[in-house]
Amino acid sequence: MSVQTATAPPETPTPPAGPLARVTGWMRTHTTSLPTWAALVIFVGMVIYAEIVYGRILQPSTTSNLLINNSHLIIIAVALTFVIITGGIDLSVGAVIAFSSVAGVMLANAGWNAYLVMVLMIAFGATFGLISGWLIQYLNVQPFIATLAMMFLARGLASTLSTVPERLGDDSPIRALGTQIKIYDGPKVNDFVITPGVVIALLVVLGGFFVLHRTRTGRTIYAIGGKEQSAQLMGLPVHRSKMLVYVISGSLSGLAAVVYTARLGIAQNITGVGWELDAIAAAVIGGTLLTGGAGFVLGSVIGALVLGLMNVIISRDGSIPPEMTTVITGGVLLAFVLLQRAVVRRRE
């Protein structure tokens, strides 16, 4: 609270002196993207570790599998990124995938047009999202309660439809989304392949990036997460954007159901149990603040790949029982949440 002299304009950042100061200066101005860079470092570190200890990680087939097996996770991680940035949460993604895929496969097997079925699968997801958004926005239900109710509803409806694995006909056009396309022909089976599902996931990521960073809706989503009341007073369309975020999340869950079903060819009512944890963990590891206001779609992709790679390592290692996977994921998520908490507290 000193009296400032008239000549010195307030708030001029001190000029950087030396490389260390430059680094800290960069960190000061890029605090929100810092965790994402950290996630990238962790991912690279994991790749190097796995390559050294288990080998055969940095090769086309492993990379392809990592992408193909996690494309649905990438999609719902993007969905959760949208929701979490507003300061909300969506616990229904896994259950919505279960309902969408079971309903979709049954409709397709009943002879419905495959393209219509895929659209419907997305629409089912959007409907659940719409109900969540309505509960949250108009009935003032806390996001986690509203989406928890949707989780039980979707899972319950899926179980009502069928409790056994529903197999999609091999000739169904939906399965075309799961066909592997060879991009690079390596020695033996060591090819780099992708599926249309992977392409869809990448498009979702690009789309998510575009919406969040290049549209007013996207910026409103960040503003809501920063301080909802301020966003409201700034005249931003808070209500509409909050509803939209849950509809986006629901639709993307539907899309993830399409991609996942196309790859597996099977849908079941217990599909996607615990995926909400994976999606939240992916977003949080990738630098999305659980309290809202900060996060990056690209970070969530890295988060999803970290989890995917973790699964690869666990299965390669063999000494870790597969039951431990959720425990480890939970532990990692908890660690990151605590880390965020500590960082935010210090910044305050």
Partner 1 sequence: MSHEPIVEMRGIHIGFPGVKALDGVDFRLLPGEVHALMGENGAGKSTLIKCLTGVYSIDAGEIVIDGSPRQLAGTADAQEAGIATVYQEVNLVRNLSIGENVMLGHEVRGRFGISWRATHRRAKENLERFGLGHLDTRLPLSTLSIAVQQLVAIARAMVTKSHVLILDEPTSSLDKQEVSTLFGVIRQLRSEGVAILFVSHFLEQVYEISDRMTVLRNGRFEGEFLTKDLDRSSLIATMIGRELSTLAGEHEVRDGVAPGQREPLLVAENLGRKGSVGATDLAIGKGEIVGFAGLLGSGRTELARLLYGADRPDSGSITLKGRKTAIGSPAAGLANGIALSSENRRDEGIIADLSVRENMILAVQARRGWMRPLSKKDTDEIVDKYIKEFGVRPADPDRPIKNLSGGNQQKVLLGRWLATRPDLMILDEPTRGIDVGAKADIITAVQKLAEDGMSVVFISSEIEEVARVSDRIVVMRDREKVAEIVNDGTVSAATIVAVIADEEGTAQTVAALDVSDETFPGTTSTSTPTGTSTSTERSES
Partner 2 sequence: MSTATSSTFGERLRNVGRQQFVWAIVAIVLLLVINVIKDPTYLSISYSDNLGGLRGNLVDILRASAPILMIATGMALVIATGGIDLSIGSAMVIAGAVAMEFLSASGSSSLGTAGLALLLALLVAGVLGVVNGVLVSVVGLQPFISTLIMMLAGRGIAKVITGGQNTTATSEPFRWIANGYVVGLPVVVLLAVAIVAVVGLIVRRSALGLMIEAIGIDAEAARLAGVNKRAIIFTVYVAAAVLGGMAGVFATASVMTVDVSNTGNQMELDAILAVVIGGTSLAGGKFSIRGAAVGAVLIATLDKTVVFLGVPSSATPAFKAAVIVILFLIQSPWLHTQLAKLRSRRTTTPTTAEVTA
- Which does residue 131 bind out of partner 2, partner 1, none, counting CB within 5 to 8 angstroms by kind? partner 2
Give the amino acid at 52: I
- If the CB atoms of residues 147 and 251 are measured against partner 2, the closer one turns out to be 147
> Could you say whether residue 33 binds partner 1 (CB under 8 A)?
no
> Could you say whether residue 1 binds partner 1 (CB under 8 A)?
yes
Q: What sign does the CA torsion over 138, 141, 142, 143 have?
A: negative
Q: Smallest distance from the beta carbon of 73 to partner 2, in angstroms?
A: 15
Q: Smallest distance from the beta carbon of 240 to partner 2, in angstroms?
A: 16
- Measured in degrees and rounded to the nearest 5, phi and psi for residue 186 equal -90, 180
Question: Which of 201, 294, 307, 309: binder of partner 1 (CB under 8 A)?
Answer: 294
Scan residues 297-316 and list those touching partner 1 (CB under 8 A). none
**Biggest alpha carbon–alpha carbon distance for the chain:** 79
Stretch near partner 1 under the rule CB under 8 A, chosen from 9-17, 157-165, 258-266, 267-275: 9-17
Closest by CA to 101, choosing from 309, 304, 267, 339, is: 267
Question: Which of 35, 60, 225, 286: binder of partner 1 (CB under 8 A)?
Answer: 225
- Which does residue 319 bind out of partner 1, partner 2, none, counting CB within 5 to 8 angstroms by kind? none
* C-beta of residue 55 within 8 angstroms of C-beta of residue 317: no
Q: What are the residues whose beta carbons fall under 8 Å from the beta carbon of 292, sequence distance 6 or more? A: 84, 85, 86, 87, 88, 224, 225, 226
> Could you say whether residue 207 binds partner 1 (CB under 8 A)?
no
How far apart CA 190 and CA 59 sit, in angstroms, is 7
Give, as one character, the DSSP assignment of residue 182: E
Scan residues 39-78 and list those touching partner 1 (CB under 8 A). none
- If the CB atoms of residues 201 and 284 are measured against partner 2, the closer one turns out to be 284
CA 156 to chain centre: 24
**Chain residues that interact with partner 1, rule: CB under 8 A:** 1, 3-4, 6, 9-13, 28-29, 31-32, 210, 213-216, 219-220, 222-223, 225-227, 229-237, 293-294, 347
